[in-house]
């Protein structure tokens, strides 16, 4: 594998990792914008705009966009997060020019008023669909409670009220400000020729506007002791989320934090699994580590019969306190490393996985990390590193949100 980078005169960055043995190629346009970059007046605009990008351009109708992707057998999609909006496609190598043509074209969307009004109804329906999913609803509300006034607490989807009030002109202003060339990274991975790819992307993107799209209010999220119950009588299970601070995306501690989360809350073979799931106390119980620009967090969740909620919450808190006091065992550390290394390797075997890793790595760190470097960083995590992240980010103050039939938790 070989890594390459080129910056166009308008500031758009192109990065690529060539794998001659691959049988496909993946390309993604990473726009550094998401819900944390929104004001309350335009809440949900990033995700809404992701939808609008596929509604047509001066060159293509929405039907033609989909047909042109299908014609080349592309696996394509897009997603919006708190910090990024990503548009991507995986294709056979001979169709890379077509894929770049389509992706670059839709990233200059028409944003027609009729399409905007129609898609607004789709977005509001989507918000309702997610509100009907207990796990998602609990997650979204727990995130809001934990981050509080921090911009990462902004809703990705927005609300029916904010989407209803959003105007097409407000979206255009947001698009013009955030979708400038220096705020976009194009990542390519798989079997392709670098020089040809650069010429191809330059052909389609060199005329994109330059400009500054800074991200404000980048700061750590402080710990927050908070308990909240949202009662939904019709649900049969209680869904509980517990959040605590962790290291940011650019912190060397993130490798230890990810490893610790695997030990405590992986969905198989972890302390939560053996303590809650295997004995049948909870249907699910897991812990993940999420890193963002400027901050990070541990996201713990479990679902169970309502009458077991308080006992399970106490058990989870005891598992966290035990890890805080005593750390982890050498065996647990070794097993977690094996799981993570396997995950990294398997995710990197396909160009799509490497393209995503390349794009995200560059967006957050402005650096290239090969698969071997990523493996070495996880393999180097030591007991001292685990103790370091536990001491720096203790599980002393927790944000707890429960959603389900219960009217209260113990102490709430």
Please give the model's pTM, rounded to 2 decimal places: 0.94
- DSSP 8-state assignment for residue 9: T
How far is it, in rounded angstroms, from Cα 364 to Cα 352?
Answer: 19
- DSSP 8-state assignment for residue 150: S
Question: Does residue 230 sit in helix, strand or coil?
Answer: strand
Residues contacting residue 268 through CB under 8 Å, at least 6 positions apart:
none
Q: In this predicted structure, what is the pLDDT of residue 110?
A: 96
Q: Which tokens sit at 241?
A: 């989320």
Q: What is the CATH number of domain 226-404?
A: 3.30.830.10
- Angstrom distances, CA of residue 378 to CA of 51, 117, 183, 269: 36, 47, 29, 19
- pLDDT tens digit sequence for 259-309: 999 999 999 999 999 999 999 999 999 999 999 999 999 999 999 999 999
H-helix or E-strand spanning residue 171: helix 168-178
Cβ atoms of 401 and 141 within 8 Å: the answer is yes
Q: In this predicted structure, what is the pLDDT of residue 219?
A: 95
Q: Indicate the fold that domain 2-205 takes in CATH.
A: Cytochrome Bc1 Complex; Chain A, domain 1 (3.30.830)
Q: What is the pLDDT along the chain (412 residues), one digit of tens a residue?
A: 899 999 999 999 999 999 999 999 999 999 999 999 999 999 999 999 999 999 999 999 999 999 999 999 999 999 999 999 999 999 999 999 999 999 999 999 999 999 999 999 999 999 999 988 999 999 999 999 999 999 999 999 999 999 999 999 999 999 999 999 999 999 999 999 999 999 999 999 999 999 999 998 999 999 999 999 999 999 999 999 999 999 999 999 999 999 999 999 999 999 999 999 999 999 999 999 999 999 999 999 999 999 999 999 999 999 999 999 999 999 999 999 999 999 999 999 999 999 999 999 999 999 999 999 999 999 999 999 999 999 999 999 999 999 999 999 986 5
Per-residue exposure over 83-93, b if at least 16 CB sit within 10 Å of its own CB, e if not: bbbbbbbbbee
Q: In this predicted structure, what is the pLDDT of residue 1?
A: 84
Domain residue spans of the chain: 2-205, 226-404
Counted residue by residue, the chain has a size of 412
Q: Which tokens sit at 168?
A: 């097409």
How far is it, in rounded angstroms, from Cα 394 to Cα 331?
Answer: 22
Q: Which of 17, 38, 50, 332 is catalytic?
A: 50
HSE toward the beta carbon, residue 299, CA cutoff 13 A: 18
Q: What is the CA radius of gyration of the chain?
A: 22
Report the chain's terminal Cα–Cα distance, integer Å: 55
H-helix or E-strand spanning residue 321: helix 309-326
Q: Which is nearest to 82 in space by CA: 344, 355, 299?
A: 299
Cβ atoms of 285 and 301 within 8 Å: the answer is yes
Q: Find residue 240's DSSP bridge partners.
A: 302, 402
Spatial strand order of the sheet with 13-18 comes to 2-7, 13-18, 184-190, 25-31, 85-91, 75-80
- pLDDT tens digit sequence for 138-186: 999 999 999 999 999 999 999 999 999 999 999 999 999 999 999 999 9
Q: Is 50 a catalytic residue?
A: yes
Tell how far CA 87 is from the center of its chain.
13
């Amino acid at each position: 594998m070989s890594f390459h980078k080129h910056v166009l005169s308008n500031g758009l960055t192109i990065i690529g990792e060539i794998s001659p043995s691959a049988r496909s190629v993946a390309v993604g346009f990473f726009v550094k914008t998401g819900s944390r970059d929104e004001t309350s007046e335009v809440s949900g605009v990033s995700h809404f705009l992701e939808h609008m990008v596929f509604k047509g351009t001066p060159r293509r109708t929405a039907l033609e966009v989909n047909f042109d992707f299908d014609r080349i057998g592309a696996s394509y999609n897009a997603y919006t997060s708190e910090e990024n909006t990503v548009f991507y496609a995986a294709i056979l190598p001979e169709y890379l020019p077509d894929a770049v043509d389509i992706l670059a074209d839709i990233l200059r969307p028409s944003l027609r008023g009729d399409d905007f009004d129609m898609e607004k109804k789709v977005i509001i329906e989507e918000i309702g669909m997610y509100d009907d999913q207990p796990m998602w609803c609990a997650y979204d509300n727990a995130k809001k409670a934990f981050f509080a006034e921090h911009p990462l607490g902004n809703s990705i989807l927005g609300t029916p009220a904010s989407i209803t009030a959003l105007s097409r002109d407000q979206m255009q202003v947001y698009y013009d400000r955030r979708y400038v060339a220096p705020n976009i990274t194009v990542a390519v991975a798989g079997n392709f020729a670098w020089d040809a790819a650069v010429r191809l992307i330059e052909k389609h993107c060199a005329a994109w506007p330059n400009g500054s799209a800074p991200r404000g209010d980048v700061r750590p999220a402080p710990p927050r002791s908070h308990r909240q119950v949202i009662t939904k009588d019709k649900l049969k299970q209680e869904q509980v989320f517990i959040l605590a601070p962790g290291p940011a995306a650019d912190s060397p501690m993130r490798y230890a934090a990810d490893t610790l989360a695997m030990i405590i809350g992986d969905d198989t073979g972890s302390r939560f699994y053996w303590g809650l799931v295997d004995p049948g106390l909870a249907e699910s119980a897991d812990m993940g580590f999420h890193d963002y620009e400027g901050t990070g967090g541990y996201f713990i969740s479990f679902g169970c019969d309502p009458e077991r909620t308080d006992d399970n919450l106490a058990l989870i808190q005891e598992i966290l306190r035990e890890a805080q006091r005593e750390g982890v065992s050498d065996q647990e550390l070794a097993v977690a490393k094996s799981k993570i290394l396997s995950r990294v390797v398997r995710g990197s075997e396909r160009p799509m996985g490497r393209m995503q890793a390349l794009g995200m790595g560059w967006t957050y760190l402005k650096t290239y990390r090969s698969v071997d470097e990523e493996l070495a960083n996880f393999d180097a995590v030591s007991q001292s590193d685990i103790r370091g992240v536990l001491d720096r980010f203790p599980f002393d103050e927790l944000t707890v949100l429960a959603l389900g039939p219960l009217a209260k938790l113990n102490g709430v």
